[in-house]
Amino acid sequence: MRVTQQMLNQNSIRNMSQNLSRFEKMNNQVSSGKSLHRPSDDPNGVSKAMNLKSTLSANAQFERNTNESKLWMDETGQNIDSMVGVMQRVRELAIQGNNDTYSEIDRKAIDAEIGELTEQMRGLANAKVNGRSLFNGQKTGESPFPEKGNYAFDSTDLVARTFAIGEGINIQASVLPDELFGAATEDTNIFKTLQSISASLQAGTSIDLEKTDAGIDRLLTVGAQNGVRQNRVEAVENRLLDSNLELQSMLSRVEDVDYAEAVIKLKSEESIYQASLAATAKIIQPSLMDFLR
């Protein structure tokens, strides 16, 4: 086959372009620290990296939900503890109120304190977290007991707040008023109990301690259930942290550059490109015709 000058020129330029492309690719890898810049670099690697990043993004949202649910549960637990403290004080006063040695003035003083404790309980029931009602289910913009003395509550269609803290894992993070205080129609409803204690003190009749005990037991049970859910959230949170570390490590192995190897390759490609430049310069010599064009 006859080799013409034009063929030499074309082959030299093509080879030089290929060398420059490889040199530019290695330079990008070293300067960015990433081995993947476009799907053609490594289709399978790019697909893996995209899946890993998608999973990390989902985990980041689960972590945010986990933190939010922990906040709600912590606030729920603290308020329930305060409610239990209120009811224990109510029980002490109820026992004193059943004591025949107490005078009418003493019973009035006890009744006044029961009234204050009832208001304190209403305040705890209307507690808020980040400006949102803690114990009113999804109706976080409303307080369950906004009016003093009115403890009727309609829980129809009310559901507790839940958060998605993992793939297919939803956790209840709040408690409904019926769970805490009992339904408005129940005799052991805590607000009904407080009102009946006050009525008994004013009438001078015996106070039923069983209803107070039932209220305390209900609060303790709900508080324990909340604690169990907190433990579950912490377990999920720890698993998420472990998963993120593993996913980030895998992502690094897929797309990050091995610097030692990349720098060696970069130097090699640079040398090849410089050599091709020198060789091409010798092959493509300007002729008199180039200057006359």
Domain boundaries defined on the chain: 67-250
Report the CATH architecture of 67-250.
Answer: Up-down Bundle (1.20)
Helix (H) or strand (E) holding 283: helix 259-283
CA 26, CA 259: separation in Å to the nearest integer? Answer: 11
Dihedral (C-alpha) 82, 97, 152, 117: value to the nearest 10 degrees?
Answer: -30
Reading the chain (293 residues) residue by residue, the pLDDT tens digits are: 677 777 878 888 888 889 899 999 899 889 888 888 888 888 898 999 999 999 999 999 999 999 999 999 999 999 999 999 999 999 999 999 998 888 889 999 999 999 999 999 999 999 999 899 999 998 899 999 998 888 888 788 889 999 999 999 999 999 999 999 999 888 899 999 999 999 999 998 999 899 999 999 999 999 999 999 999 999 999 999 999 999 999 999 998 888 898 899 999 999 999 998 888 888 776 665 565 55
208-212, long-range: CB within 8 Å, 24+ apart, which pairs?
Answer: 209/91, 209/94, 209/95, 209/98, 211/187, 212/87, 212/90, 212/91, 212/94
In 137-205, which ranges are E strands? 162-166, 169-172
Residue 291 confidence (pLDDT): 57
Residue 37 confidence (pLDDT): 81
